[in-house]
Amino acid sequence: MEIITNISYILKDPLVQFFLWMAVLHIIGQVFVDKKISFWIASVATTFLWYKYRDPYTPAYAWGIIVGFILLAYILKIVFHFNIFLFLKGRKRCPKCYEEAHLRAKVCPFCGHVFSEKDDLKEGD
């Protein structure tokens, strides 16, 4: 019973509701439009509707979180040459053909490039 109380408490948070609405619209958008733009359609639609019918502070805070994650990913990529998105997918980029290979691959399946230890250190570059 305590778990249900905790979940209901979390679901009452406007920021959690905002991201849940964004996720629902994203799923619906993937059915009707391309996956690449459905996130942006869902984000803009949720922001507009929330701003119009609710408070303006929750979308600003949510976009701050989204932009913060994007900035963190770019800082990791630029400063440390580490692509977090490829790493989370369990992939690395081949320095010769720029195709994605499995993180533990010793040879690129597309061009035959043999990964060195230096390439393995730059897992997601």
In the predicted model, residues of the chain with pLDDT beneath 70 are 118-125
How confident is the model at residue 122, as a pLDDT? 52
Position 95: which residue type?
P
Per-residue DSSP letters for 55-114? -SHHHHHHHHHHHHHHHHHHHHHHHH---HHHHHHTEEE-TTT--EEETT-SB-TTT-PB
How confident is the model at residue 124, as a pLDDT? 46
For 93, the token pair is 């980029």
C-alpha closest to that of 97 among 88, 107, 84, 89: 107
- Every domain of the chain and the residues it spans: 2-80, 85-121
**Is residue 115 helix, strand or coil?**
coil
For 98, the token pair is 């720029």
